[in-house]
Amino acid sequence: MNKKILEALTPLGVPVKFQKHSGAASQYITFHEYFQTGEAYEDDEESLTGRYLQVDIWSKIDYEILVIQVKSQMKNAGFTRIDEADLYEPDTGIYHKALRYYYLEEREG
């Protein structure tokens, strides 16, 4: 799943990291999976897995264009947006957009 997300978001030209980022970029993206569950079963075996993940945009500047680009890239990669929230981190002065997504994955074998 990490590879799929990285392939979708890396072309945006900002750092994209799993869970945490260290660096001086004025904008960057982190992501993590927060839930995974069986969605369908065949012959007592899981056939479809629901994967729930959060993409976080961190920015010291206006992030509106980057948010639009992330949403487009994630949709094109097959992710369904669940919800989103605008946040602000007062201790660092960084604006934070949290986007939550769902992906239905077919299990092999």
pLDDT tens string 46-103: 899 999 999 999 999 999 999 999 999 999 999 999 999 999 999 989 999 999 999 9
CATH number of domain containing 21: 3.30.2000.30
- Give me the pLDDT at residue 109, please: 56
CA distances from 32 to 3, 17, 39, 44, 62 (A): 12, 9, 20, 29, 23
Looking at residue 11, what DSSP letter applies? G
Percentage of residues in the chain with pLDDT exceeding 70?
Answer: 98
Single pTM value for the model: 0.91
CA-based nearest residue to 55, from 37, 28, 78, 36: 28
The number of distinct structural domains making up the chain is 1
Q: Write down the residue that tokens 């075996």 correspond to.
A: 45
Looking at residue 24, what DSSP letter applies? -
| Whole-angstrom distance, CA of residue 6 vs CA of residue 97 | 18
Residue 21 domain boundaries: 2-106
| Whole-angstrom distance, CA of residue 31 vs CA of residue 33 | 7
